[in-house]
Structure 1
Amino acid sequence: MKQYASSIKKGKEIIEYYLKELENDGITHVLRWAPPATPTVPIQIPVSSNRNVHSRKGGSNLSTSLPGSPDDKLDADWIRRYLGELTPMQESCLIRLRKLLQETHKGKIPKDQHVLRFLRSRDFNLEKAREALCHTLTWRKQHQMDHLLDTWQCPQLLCDYNTGGWHHHDKDGRPLYILRLGQMDTKGLVRALGEESLLRHVLFINEDGLRRCEENTVVFGRPISCWTCLVDLEGLNMRHLWRPGVKALLRIIEVVEANYPETLGRLLIIRAPRVFPVLWTLVSPFINENTRKKFLIYAGNDYNGPGGLLEYISADIIPDFLGGGCMCGIPEGGVVPKSLYRATEGLENEEVQLWTETIYKIASVSKGSPHEILIENTEASSVITWDFDVCKGDIMFSIYHSKLTPHPPKKDPLGSHGIMGIGVNNVQLIDKSWILGKDYSLVETSLTCREGESIQGSHVTRWPGFYILQWHYYSTPACTASSMPRMDDMLASLQVSSHKCKILYYTEVLGSQDFRGSMTSLASSHSGFSQLSNVTTFSSQSHSSSTISR
């Protein structure tokens, strides 16, 4: 009865909030709802599909429950325990954003904590948060960020000269990361390791921080979604203002701000020297205003005074090098020997070398200019597999078998790709003079793919020869104006497509002798996308598709 009364009260608050919104907009009358002319099948939206009974009891691993089960509810007790206090409007935005993601990402929704971070970073602007989160999910898949904690091996040189590490927690239970930036040879690390290795290490720290926040949420029994960073600037000098080093710092800030919003709870900068205002002038314009508000800067030894470290960190864990009694294992760093510096040419090519290690490619698809890739098959019963994401716009995906030999461009049609600044490609192989049914044939029914969807499937070849995988622009039919727009149409209107689309794709051919698993087709379309929730949900169809992937 207590839970029932709480639900009724919460529902009343939400209704009253939106009634007031209507009054503020000058709307005093709303037409009575009438059922649509054509019956539709109701859609069950699992607004909290990544929680189960164990997670309600405080477990850190959140798994997926079946749609329509009791665990599909965002109840008040769970919100207070794992998300904190939310207003009715904020809860409504969270549910609506999850609904939008469910419609496009098909069971690959991050945890509510991650969705809420993006909403908070955009002041609960639904469309801005959706766009930013979708970009991050694509970025995570392209660069395999979900596996970073398991795959990243910190270079020994960085282990020897790095001056940062985790150190207990602050008074709010947030994980505490200490960086002795003034003791770090930033120029030497950039010259010896390259910008990309440092970026990877910072991303690893952010992934590790998210994991530690989840653990502390369980330990302290309250939602902990961010961490505290303590930066000691003793020793900072003009060497730290070396231009390539500042450039590397700005890029790291840009990537972290875009993909890890609202993960920094507080930044304590202590022992700031006279040269600090110069550094601050260079980097502060690239830091989000909401993030800058979390900065607390102490010059000299003022950090020991009123409002200093003791207000945020317990005295028994103040590091020994700051006058506390807690032994801190964070190294002091040192100057990187110049004999370990890399050649300038290697540093210039570092971005391409690192970010092209991903198996995914990027291609553009515009109206009248489809993107096609050629697969030469030497035997029947081999399996062509694909995995692609529609990053922008709507496209049609088709597979053709050619009786003629296509002539791909002399330049590598797949090209190169990277985290940013690398151009996308568009290649056309089917000659305009070819006749469908004579020169080439359609071997799989064309599939319509919407923006944000992740598609995975396979095709078992029947004949040797040339197979062409094609993505071409899809124009959404105009809606009729005979009736008022449905809510689904209004939500779809938020995703206005242009005449240029972008895809992120990977293909592979498995020989018949090496094939193991169930044969599937385009019908097994939607598959796992992001593993932010630590558990990727597969339907029975997409699971069959996943068994044939590399």
Structure 2
Amino acid sequence: MVQEYVSPVRVHKYPFEMVMAAYERRFPSCPQIPVVLECVITEDSWTADDSTRYTTRRCQLNVDAPYLLKKMIGVDYVYFIQKNHLDLKSRVLEIEATNETFSARVGVVEKCRYYVHPENPEWTCFEQSALLDVKNFFGLESTVEKIAMKQYSANIAKGKELIESFMDEVLADGVRDLKPWEAGQHARNRELRRVVSRGTEPLSPLAAPDSQRHSQPDQYTLDSEYIKRYLGELTPMQESRLLQLRKWIADLQKGKVPSDKTLLRFLRARDFNVEKAREMLSQSLLWRKKHQVDRLLSEYETPEVVKQYFPGGWHHHDKDGRPLYVLRLGQMDVKGLLKSIGEDGLLKLTLHVCEEGLKLLEEATRSSEHAVQAWSLLVDLDGLNMRHLWRPGVRALLRIIQIVEANYPETMGRVLIVRAPRVFPILWTIVSTFIDENTRSKFLFYGGKDYLQPGGLLDYIPKDLIPDFLGGPCKSFVHEGGLVPKSLYVSGAFTERDGDPLSEDSIYRSVSLAKGQVHEVVVSNRDPQSVLTWDFDVLRHDIAFTVLHTHLDLPPPDESATGGAAQSVVAASWREGSHFRRAEPTLLCHDGESIQGSHVMTECGNYVLQWRCELLDTSHRAAQLMYFYETLDSHQYK
């Protein structure tokens, strides 16, 4: 079990020589790091010109391990051998520490390095890294690793604070300016040697830096202050994972490396598992290249139908400074948009919004005092009904969700759902299983008008930015949506996929009806509160539609007639109110109409979906419809 830990660069805004004087104050022990009990010098030598010092120490550490574990392994303390190389001429200090205790069972190699900042000679950089190899430890390998990680994290967090604290002591003693080592300046060099001759920085189990010995930082390091300002607060382990992924992707790409924010998003999506994040990111980079996604912002031209009928757009920021996107989903004509621009067109629109979001995140971070890592989404469901559950449209939505989840993970900070109608749980049941669990946890739901009450939108959006269509004072430029005129439909824009279980070819049935004929579907219900849903298109002439209910047994519909049309299963002798009732009023549907609806089946018994031809002129061709129905269990509809 081998683990590698890498930390970002810490920058001390003092010259190298002053930093050396500060950390000398930490020897031979440091109360701020109680794990280090004592460090004894076993070897110490300087070169003749006082430019280089070689020091070896044996450090006694009181590892923060459970008492029982210490008794099981028979030790109270562990020892590390620390070798230090201080080069005042090159202004570099390198430290390497290895464990002496249990070295045959556990291998720990720690390295750290102080060097002059490559862009500012008055600043000093500090890097850390460590390698932990738990070979065999009495069956306690996992426990040892956890203890090491905990100790590593704790001491990295303290490192910069300690230097700053001891620097205050150095300055209080009147040491203000230590000149760098110079050839031939014997008196100055001896004074510099005297100041830095007490020792070098002690290391705890897992305190850590890059093993390469050079005076410039390599391409895989990041400054800790940069991380805090532009990426947000990360734990030492998270910082380490970020640096590892950065290096791996750079080796893989052999060219342009994605931004650190992008790397961090994929790490978060995979719970900071570097291997899984690298696999996910690699697939996404290939996808972006294949579909030329990097060119979307500069080349995408918004279709005219989207400009007029797509009810979504960016709307200022929320209280956390996140860009806010508003989508009036209840006003969206999904079928009309798909018939106009197709599924790929709707996908391209979504990807363009995502790319805009990434750009807005960069702008928000630059203009604020903290990292803005995700945007917020406000979804208004007013007007949502069963027409939004048109199955090809749902299928297109699921495909888009899967692509966005795979390529834009952790970009959604919060999703505010307002004015959710009773039909919404049906859509949510279908869609939610395709949304990552972590993303689902960011959804907040508000039904009715409670979204403007305490605990509602005002907790997340400034009062003066609540959109006007939600009762706020802020003018919204998000389009109201509405039905897309059929004149804007484009022939062939939306076609079903062969073999797709959600395609019209596989789940929609076509039926022809002559005058007076009916087509019926009998649904036997034994689950009160389950939901019967339907979706049908009238392709020719007018058709009357209704839903009936009876507790009596019904014969199965006779589908031997042409097109599935037959006589009604409801006997001619039955009387409405006595033998059956209308669960839904009769609806006259005209040529070209698309109808979606649902009914909560509050009673057991038989429900009948009935379509009846209303042709007045027998010379006309038969009426035609295409339909689909589905039953949703009661536990799905809450």
TM class, shorter-length: 0.5 to 0.7
Q: How far is the alpha carbon of 1:19 from its aligned partner?
A: 10
Taking the TM superposition and a 5 Å limit, the aligned residue runs for 1:511-526 are none
Amino acid paired to 1:187? K
Q: Name the structure where strand makes up a greater proportion of residues.
A: 2
Quick check: 1:52–1:71 contact (8 Å CA) kept in 2? no
Paired residue for 1:347? 494
Deviating above 6 A after TM superposition, structure 1's stretches of 4 or more consecutive aligned residues are 4-9, 31-35
Decide whether the 8 Å contact of 1:194 with 1:350 is kept in 2: no
Give 1:347 shift: 2.2
**Which residue of structure 2 aligns with residue 309 of structure 1?**
457
3-state DSSP of counterpart to 1:167: strand
Aligned to 1:330: 478
> 1:184 Cα deviation (Å)?
1.1
**1:120 aligned to 268, 276, 294, which one?**
268
Match of 1:223 in 2: 371
Match 1:183 to one of 331, 353, 364: 331
Q: After superposition, give the CA deviation of every residue in 1:241-291 in whole Å (9 maximum; x if it has no partner).
A: 111111111011000000000000000000000100000011011011000
Change (3 A) 1:68 1:326: farther
Instruction: Measure, in 2, the Cα distance between the counterparts of 1:93 and 1:52.
Output: 26
Gapped regions of structure 1 (runs ≥ 5): 36-50, 54-66, 352-550
Q: Secondary structure at the match of 1:286?
A: coil
**Residues 339/124 of structure 1: CA separation in 2 closer, same or farther (3 Å cut):** same
CA distance in 1, matches of 2:108, 2:275: 28
What is the CA–CA distance in structure 2 between the aligned matches of 1:195 and 1:94, rounded to whole Å? 36
- Write the distance in 2 (CA, Å) between the matches of 1:281 and 1:206: 24
**Cα 1:150/1:19, change in 2 over 3 Å:** farther
Task: Determine whether 1:264 maps to 2:412.
Answer: yes
**CA shift at 1:233, angstroms?**
0.2
Match of 1:281 in 2: 429
Q: CA deviation at 1:111?
A: 0.8
Q: C-alpha offsets along residues 193-251 of structure 1, whole Å, 9 cap, x if unaligned?
A: 11000000000000000000000001112101110000000000111111111111101
Does the C-alpha gap of structure 1 residues 296 and 326 become closer, same or farther in structure 2, counting only changes over 3 Å?
Answer: same
1:135 aligns with 2:283: yes
Q: 2:357 aligns with which of 184, 198, 209?
A: 209
Distance between the aligned counterparts of 1:251 and 1:52, measured in 2?
48
- How many residue pairs end up in the alignment? 316
Cα gap change, 1:214 to 1:78, in 2 (>3 Å):
same
Residue 494 of structure 2 aligns to which amino acid in structure 1? L
Equivalent pair of 1:195/1:350 in contact (CA under 8 Å): no
**Pairwise mapping of residues 377-416 of structure 1 onto structure 2 (< 5 A)?**
none
SS of the residue corresponding to residue 108 of structure 1 reads coil
Paired residue for 1:357? none
CA deviation vs aligned residue, 1:483-542 (integer Å, no higher than 9, x gap): xxxxxxxxxxxxxxxxxxxxxxxxxxxxxxxxxxxxxxxxxxxxxxxxxxxxxxxxxxxx
Q: Percent identity, please.
A: 55
Return the alpha-carbon distance in structure 1 between the equivalents of residues 417 and 376 of structure 2: 11
Aligned residues of 1:188 and 1:335 also touching (Cα < 8 A):
yes
Q: Which of 389, 398, 420 is the equivalent residue of 1:241?
A: 389
TM-score by length of 2: 0.46
Q: How does 1:290-305 map to 2 (within 5 A)?
A: 290-305=438-453
Give the alignment partner of residue 103 of structure 2, picking from 29, 45, 62.
Answer: 29
CA–CA distance in 1 between the matches of 2:438 and 2:432?
12
In 2 relative to 1, CA 34–161 (structure 1 residues): closer, same or farther, beyond 3 Å?
closer
Aligned-residue offset at 1:334: 1.5
SS at match of 1:326: coil
Structure 2 CA distance for aligned equivalents of residues 290 and 307 of structure 1: 22
Equivalent position SS for 1:300: coil
> 2:485, 2:119 → 1: CA distance?
52
The answer on whether the counterparts of 2:229 and 2:371 sit within 8 Å (CA) in structure 1 is: yes
- CA distance in 1 between counterparts of 2:385 and 2:215 reads 60
Aligned partner of residue 199 in structure 1, secondary structure: helix
**Is 2:321–2:364's contact at 8 Å kept on the other side of the alignment?**
yes
Q: How high is the TM-score relative to the length of structure 1?
A: 0.53
Matching residue's letter, 1:253: I
What are the superposed Cα offsets for residues 119-177 of structure 1, whole Å, 9 maximum, x if unpaired? 00100111110000000000000000111100111101111101000010000000000
- C-alpha separation between the residues in 1 aligned to 2:401 and 2:215? 41
Q: Distance in 2 between matches of 1:107 and 1:68?
A: 24
* Separation in 1, partners of 2:392, 2:442: 27
Change (3 A) 1:238 1:34: closer
1:33 to 1:262, Cα distance in 2 relative to 1, 3 A: closer
The residue that corresponds to 1:250 in the other structure is: 398
In the alignment, residue 347 of structure 1 is paired with which amino acid? F
Q: CA deviation digits over 1:408-450, x for unaligned, max 9? A: xxxxxxxxxxxxxxxxxxxxxxxxxxxxxxxxxxxxxxxxxxx
Aligned twin of 1:433? none
1:167 aligns with 2:167: no
Secondary structure of the corresponding residue to residue 232 of structure 2: coil
Q: Distance in 1 between matches of 2:311 and 2:472?
A: 18
Query: Higher RCO, 1 or 2 (CA under 8 Å, sep at least 6)?
Result: 1
Counterpart among 314, 319, 322 of residue 467 in structure 2: 319
Structure 1 residue 191, shift from structure 2 partner: 1.4
CA contact (8 A) 2:401 2:435 kept: yes
> 1 CA distance for matches of 2:108 and 2:242?
28
* DSSP 3-state at the match of 1:269: strand
| 2:572 paired residue number | none
- Deviation string 1:17-54 (CA, Å, 9 cap, x unpaired) is x998xx99x9953579899xxxxxxxxxxxxxxx999x
Alpha-carbon contact 1:233-1:273 (below 8 Å) kept: yes
Match among 245, 250, 256 for residue 102 of structure 1: 250
**Is the contact between residue 339 and residue 493 of structure 2 (CA under 8 Å) also seen in structure 1?**
no
Does the 8 Å CA contact 1:177/1:228 hold for their aligned counterparts?
yes
CA RMSD of aligned residues (A): 3.5
Please say if residues 309 and 332 of structure 2, whose CA atoms lie closer than 8 Å, have aligned partners that are also in contact. Answer: yes
| Alignment deviations for residues 274-326 of structure 1 (CA, whole Å, 9 cap, x no partner) | 10000001101101100000000111111112210000000011111111111
Following superposition, the deviation at residue 78 of structure 1 comes to 1.0
- The structure-2 alpha-carbon separation of the partners of 1:156 and 1:33, relative to structure 1 and needing over 3 Å to count, comes to same
Alpha-carbon distance in structure 1 between the residues aligned to 2:64 and 2:262: 29
Q: How far, CA to CA, are the matches of 2:224 and 2:305 in structure 1?
A: 49
Aligned pairs (5 A) from 1:146-165: 146-165=294-313
Aligned equivalents of 1:158 and 1:30: distance in 2? 67
